[in-house]
Amino acid sequence: MMRAILLWSALPGGSRHHFGSEIDVSDAAHTPNGYEVDLTPAECDGMFKEFHDWITEESEHDRLFGFKRVFIPGRGKVQPEKWHLSHIPTAREIQKNFSEQHIRKLFEESDIACKSAILDCLPQLLEDYVYPYFI
């Protein structure tokens, strides 16, 4: 079950959003009045397709001012997230300070559910859900 959750939700302490270098984007110009954006693949391939195609094109030409998609198919075990952009130069600085030892200590000091299961497989969880996105 833990791995199913990690397909869509970050390992506590491992969320790139906590780096301060990440944003989730959608297209307000194509959002119907009253609609609440869910950030789903269906939205990316539906009402926001033109916007995400534009992001793809700009990224391929390195015209996103240092931002790139990190959750892409074939990289790690997190499901692809077209809406998630990372400011790579900033993320790289934060990544330098990320360590298994530090996150292990945070888990050891917490009362999180499944704590022993997380600690038992922490190196593999980081290899599958965190480190592949350190680009």
Q: Which residues form the interface with Zn ion (CB under 5 A)?
A: 24, 84
Comparing every residue's Cβ against Zn ion, the nearest one is 84
- What's the min distance (Å) between Cβ of 105 and Zn ion? 25
DSSP 13-69: T--GGGGT-EEE---GGGSPTTPPP---HHHHHTTTHHHHHHHHHHHHTT-STTEEE
Separation CA 39–CA 54 (nearest Å): 17
Report which of 82, 89, 106 is spatially closest to residue 14, judged by C-alpha positions.
106
Report which of 63, 66, 108, 113 is spatially closest to residue 85, judged by C-alpha positions.
66
Q: What would the two tokens of residue 35 be? A: 């609609």
- What's the min distance (Å) between Cβ of 45 and Zn ion? 17
Is the Cβ of residue 9 or residue 105 nearer to Zn ion in the bound state?
A: 9
Is the Cβ of residue 25 or residue 104 nearer to Zn ion in the bound state?
A: 25
- What's the min distance (Å) between Cβ of 115 and Zn ion? 25
Is the Cβ of residue 52 or residue 84 nearer to Zn ion in the bound state?
A: 84
Is the Cβ of residue 24 or residue 120 nearer to Zn ion in the bound state?
A: 24
- What's the min distance (Å) between Cβ of 108 and Zn ion? 27
